[in-house]
A and B are shown apart, each in its own frame.
Chain A
Amino acid sequence: MYPENFRYTKEHEWVRVEGDVATVGITDHAQQELGDIVYVDLPKPGTRVTRGGTLGSVESVKAVSDVYAPVSGEVTGINPMLAEAPEKLNADPHGEAWLVKIKVSTPAEVESLMSAADYETYIGAEK
């Protein structure tokens, strides 16, 4: 369920790092908790984000939920599909419905995030 090559936050974001670029999304657990997603708000490319700061928000029929930056850096791209098809986040949160790409400024931050196994334990305990 949760890819081994991703890292995870307690706020239910995932990160996949390739070189110095991190692709960021929300986890399957997060989309399940939110239910039908109807809006995704993302920062403009070029925005500098700090780990733990607000990256954007995801809105379902029922509620709005903030998304936090799992790592610090500069937003270099956002997923263009989500403006028109936010429901893709329910269908494929770990794949085509990624949210943003961030050029990582502090690579050590990635190391402190949870592994897939740790995250599964974490969400198991949360229930």
Chain B
Amino acid sequence: MAAAPLRATPLNSVHRALGAKLVDFGGWEMPVQYSGIIDEHQTVRSRVGLFDVSHMGEIEIRGPDAARLTDFVSTNHAAKLRTGQIHYSAMLYEHGGFVDDILVHRAADDQFFLCVNASNQEKDFEHIRGLNRFDAQVELTSDRYAQLAIQGPRARFTLQKLTGVDLSAIHYYWFTDATVSGVPARIAHTGYTGEDGFELYIPAGEAVRIWNKLLQAGAEFGIKPCGLGARNTLRLEAKMALYGHEIDASITPLEADLEWIVKMEKGDFAGREAVRKQKQSGIRRRLAGFEMRGRGIGRDGYEVLADGVPAGWVTSGSPSPTLNKNIGLCYLPAALAQPGRAIQVMIRSQPVDAVTVETPFYKRAK
């Protein structure tokens, strides 16, 4: 069987021209690195990095019942969002497992804008449509947008050069619709790196121009284009979940340490009953952070042992360029998932010592 052709973002040729290494990322041809993962990672922690994340999907919910539909498909309390505000949330199946993790933006009283994972977007769209018994319209609008993430302590100064809007007035997890270099842009004060920064939703046709403008504007701050490799090490240090790793259809928010995005008191929503039952009976496994003590990197899918017996598995594991340690996240029996527990990770058939630790691994100084 021939592989399906890879999907590409509007910036594909720009990445090639910059010498990026391109890989198949969930069916998308995406840059994994330009100058190197460690260099890009450190650039975001210390200066500013620019990411093309146009593969991410957008779904818009509109109509008199937009808030009711959004609240029925998503676990956080959408009706409580004010216009211009954003929150992190989950969409769950009836059995309590994740359909996806999402960012919900309230664009108007009757209008919500969801940022969803690239490889889940069609599934998410069908899921929401299937639950739509409300007076609301659902539209998959991913093709209209390019999404750029500008992240790092100098992100604000870089972007400020290209927009008239006062970025310091946009609070964390709020957004403003304005213009960037004359182009209509949704400027969201969000990110997936654990660093300060913004995510921009712009017309797909303007992506190349805005990308180049941002690189020019950031030159004086040492901006670099960054790929999905650094995005992964950055988000792992900040303990941000990645669908297909920490979360998927077999994992619930309670297990993934994401109870804070599930608002039981708001009324009925898809998956509520399953979460209620699990809260009552208690969870059997829980996400925990670990650091390697022995030599090696506990990578995604590796088995974890506690007291010499199989106890769980690694969901994400990598060297941490900021901490200079090998870190990871894993599922463990709930009773073992506290910091300071000795565990072992099976690395190429050898048990290697590790210890559970507090998360996030990295928290930026405010």
Contacts and interface: CB of A to CB of B under 8 A. Distances in A.
Interface stretch (B29-37, B99-107, B276-284): B29-37
B297 interface: yes
B127 interface: no
A2 interface: no
B71 to A, nearest CB: 39
30 contacts: A32-B21, A35-B21, A35-B32, A35-B33, A35-B36, A35-B37, A35-B229, A36-B37, A36-B38, A36-B39, A38-B297, A39-B295, A39-B296, A39-B297, A57-B348, A59-B297, A60-B37, A61-B37, A61-B38, A61-B229, A61-B233, A61-B318, A61-B319, A61-B321, A62-B32, A62-B37, A62-B229, A64-B297, A64-B299, A64-B348
A61 B38 CA distance: 8
Interface in B212-237: 229, 233
Overall SS of chain B's interface: mixed
In the A-B complex, list the 7 residue pairs whose CB atoms are closest, starting with the nearest: A61-B37, A36-B38, A38-B319, A36-B36, A61-B319, A36-B37, A62-B229
Interface residues of B, number: 17
Contacts, number: 33
Interface of B: 21, 32-33, 36-39, 229, 233, 295-297, 299, 318-319, 321, 348
Interface string A52-79: 0000010111101000000000000000
A57 B38 CA distance: 20
Given A33-B21, A61-B229, 12 more contacts: A35-B21, A35-B32, A35-B36, A36-B38, A38-B319, A57-B348, A60-B37, A61-B37, A62-B32, A62-B37, A64-B297, A64-B348
A29 B297 CA distance: 23
A28 to B, nearest CB: 14
A59 B321 CA distance: 15
Nearest to A90: B36
B142 to A, nearest CB: 26
Interface string A19-62: 00000000000001101101100000000000000000101111
Contacts of A39: 295-297
Contacts of A60: 37
Nearest to A61: B37
